[in-house]
């Protein structure tokens, strides 16, 4: 007899309110590019960001903007576009040419609407991954494929094509892994109904999606130049939390009386890796305390719908416990392949971080020794070491989830 799931059992579903798209996963499907008047004034600054910075006009242009009320800005896609452009404008206003001339106060004409909008969206008032990667893309030919060649970003930072490369490759990794999200309900239902063969098949499907994501990751070498990434783009993505250039944080004029600290934009704010950690029972919270705290903190930089999705996964049945309890060698091997696909992604990511941060940081530090700027050198050197420790710890925790076969 075929077992029919009764409504009482309410099989686990990916609900619309999780804002996960069938094709692009956590990315925003077909983001808007334009905002209605008067918000188009924000768009035109964000579109001309690089030229305005180069001509030394950016800050004056921002200060000239009237204060707009975001009450008239209706609809999720318009609000996400506004959060994206205000994020770009804020980063550019604070860091400007990236030469150390930093602003510690964000004027109220930007700060007030930005903070109100952020509150509405449940996002922090700083450029996040959900802005610059998930909502910052378009297809050149709308009927064409989702490939690097047929895609573009909506807004750029100085540093040539570096921001395009970094944001689009991150998005494409995200989208490649997104096909695996669809499989999650099958996994949970299979566990609930003790269907080992269905579970095995579903785990293999997830493994192949993660392997495809790894292949897509390779494109980073083609499209992102390490020196431009390290010396230019990284500056514009920097936040004001634990940043010696803004030790107190940023003062959002007209919103709060004291400066606030927010972390900079990072793919660590992507939900995709955390999603499969939870599904596979990789217990990042049992790893190094600081790494676990950081990953948990990064969740607060994700759209609330995605944070809730991760929470709902946590309350689903444990795939790992089920696999363990069955004692079936072939099922364990299939589970391990899936965990190993996550380990491989993280190992590859470590190589990327070495190429794009650790090596340029060493080069910088050597250069600074001759030009005698020890404080800068010290700061970047330390950052580099900590990053590697954090990322290796996260990979180590992933490896610990592997089941001993036999």
- Sequence-separated (6 or more) residues with CB below 8 Å from residue 348: 214, 217
Q: Does 136 bind ligand HEM (CB under 6 A)?
A: no
Q: Which of 190, 341, 352, 401 binds ligand HEM (CB under 6 A)?
A: 352
- The structure tokens listed for 391 are 């990322």
**Least distance to ligand HEM, CB of residue 329, Å:** 29
Q: Does 353 bind ligand HEM (CB under 6 A)?
A: yes
Q: Does 176 bind ligand HEM (CB under 6 A)?
A: no
Q: Does 387 bind ligand HEM (CB under 6 A)?
A: yes
Q: Residue 105 pairs with which residues in a beta bridge?
A: 251
Q: Does 173 bind ligand HEM (CB under 6 A)?
A: yes
Options 17-25, 74-82, 147-155, 347-355: segment touching ligand HEM (CB under 6 A): 347-355
CA 301 to CA 271: how far, in whole Å?
10
Q: Which of 27, 112, 209, 268 binds ligand HEM (CB under 6 A)?
A: 268
- The structure tokens listed for 387 are 């990053």
Q: Does 220 bind ligand HEM (CB under 6 A)?
A: yes
Toward ligand HEM, which CB reaches closer, 135 or 352?
Answer: 352
Return the C-alpha torsion angle 212, 217, 218, 219, nearest 10: 110
Is 362 annotated in a binding site? The answer is no
Q: What SS3 class is residue 106?
A: strand
- The structure tokens listed for 248 are 């107190």
Q: What value, to the nearest 5°, has the Cα angle with vertex 45 and ends 39 and 51?
A: 170
**8 Å CB contact between 70 and 116:** yes
- The structure tokens listed for 3 are 């077992």
Q: How many residues lie near ligand HEM (CB under 6 A)?
A: 24
**Least distance to ligand HEM, CB of residue 28, Å:** 15
**Least distance to ligand HEM, CB of residue 393, Å:** 9
What Å distances lie between residue 11 and 5, 276, 311, 317, 321, CA to CA? 7, 19, 17, 11, 19
Q: Does 59 bind ligand HEM (CB under 6 A)?
A: no
Toward ligand HEM, which CB reaches closer, 242 or 374?
Answer: 242
Q: Does 189 bind ligand HEM (CB under 6 A)?
A: no
CA 319 to CA 206: how far, in whole Å?
13
Binding site for ligand HEM (CB under 6 A): 166, 169-170, 173-174, 217, 220, 224, 229, 266-268, 270, 273, 346, 349, 352-353, 356-357, 387, 390-391, 394
């Amino acid at each position: 007899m075929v077992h029919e799931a009764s409504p009482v059992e309410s099989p686990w579903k990916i609900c619309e309110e999780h804002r996960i798209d069938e094709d692009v996963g956590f990315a925003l499907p077909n983001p808007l590019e334009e905002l209605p008047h008067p918000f188009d004034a924000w768009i035109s600054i964000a579109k001309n960001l690089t030229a305005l910075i180069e001509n030394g006009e950016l800050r004056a242009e921002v200060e000239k903007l009237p204060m707009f009320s975001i009450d008239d800005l209706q609809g999720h896609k318009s609000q996400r576009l506004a959060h994206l452009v205000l994020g770009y404008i804020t980063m550019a206003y604070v860091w400007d040419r990236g030469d150390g001339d930093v602003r510690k106060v964000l004027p109220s004409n930007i700060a007030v609407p930005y903070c109100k909008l952020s509150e509405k969206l449940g996002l922090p008032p700083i450029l996040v991954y959900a802005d610059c990667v998930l909502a910052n893309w378009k297809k050149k030919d709308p009927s064409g494929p989702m490939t690097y060649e047929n895609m573009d970003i909506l807004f750029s930072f100085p540093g040539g094509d570096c921001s395009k490369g970094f944001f689009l490759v991150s998005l494409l990794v995200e989208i490649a892994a997104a096909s695996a999200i669809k499989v999650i309900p099958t996994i949970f239902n299979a566990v609930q109904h003790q269907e080992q063969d269905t579970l095995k098949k579903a785990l293999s499907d997830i493994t192949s999606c993660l392997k495809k994501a790894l292949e897509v990751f390779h494109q980073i070498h083609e499209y992102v130049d390490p020196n431009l990434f390290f010396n230019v783009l990284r500056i514009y993505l920097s936040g004001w939390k634990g940043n010696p250039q803004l030790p107190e944080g940023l003062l959002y004029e007209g919103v709060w009386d004291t400066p606030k600290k927010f972390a900079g934009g990072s793919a660590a704010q992507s939900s995709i890796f955390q999603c499969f950690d939870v599904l596979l029972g990789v217990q990042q919270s049992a790893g190094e305390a600081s790494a676990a705290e950081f990953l948990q903190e990064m969740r607060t930089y994700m759209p609330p719908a995605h944070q809730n999705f991760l929470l709902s996964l946590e309350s689903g049945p444990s795939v790992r416990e089920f696999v363990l309890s069955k004692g079936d060698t072939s099922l364990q091997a299939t589970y391990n392949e899936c965990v190993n696909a996550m380990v491989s992604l993280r190992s590859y990511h470590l190589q990327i971080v070495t190429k794009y941060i650790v090596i340029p940081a060493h080069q910088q530090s050597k250069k600074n020794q001759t030009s005698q700027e020890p404080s800068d050198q010290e700061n970047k050197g330390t950052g580099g070491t900590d990053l590697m420790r954090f990322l290796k710890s996260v990979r180590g925790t992933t490896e610990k989830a592997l089941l001993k076969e036999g």
